[in-house]
Amino acid sequence: MGLALPLLSAATPAAAQSCEALWYQRNEIYKAQGYCFRTQRGIRAFGNAGCQYDNVEDVPLSANQRRQVADIQREERAYGCPR
């Protein structure tokens, strides 16, 4: 999934929209594996019902999921998305 993305300022509407989509995609993977969100944004988007892991490093991800998360994080950095 290694797409070459142009470097954009997060202030541009396209980058902001992409940042939101990338954030959601990444956290959807964590939610599916039982992550307990701490931020209001994460809790609003995904809730914490059935969560099992308070620490993101403890979430059991498959090799494919780890690769997906790494690809998404690379894209987030390329867009200059907020952390």
Query: What does the domain layout of the chain look like in residue ranges?
Result: 13-79
Q: What is the percent of the chain where pLDDT is above 90? A: 77
CB within 8 Å of 38: residues ≥ 6 apart: 54
Residues 8 and 3: their CA atoms lie apart, in Å, by 14
What pLDDT, on the 0 to 100 scale, is given for residue 17? Answer: 76
Please indicate, yes or no, whether the overall pTM of this predicted structure exceeds 0.95. Answer: no
What pLDDT, on the 0 to 100 scale, is given for residue 83? Answer: 81
| Amino acid letter for position 23 | W
Token pair in block for residue 44: 């609003």
pLDDT tens for the chain, 83 residues long, are 444 444 444 446 677 779 999 999 999 999 999 999 999 999 999 999 999 999 999 999 999 999 999 999 999 999 999 98
What pLDDT, on the 0 to 100 scale, is given for residue 50? Answer: 96
What pLDDT, on the 0 to 100 scale, is given for residue 12? Answer: 65
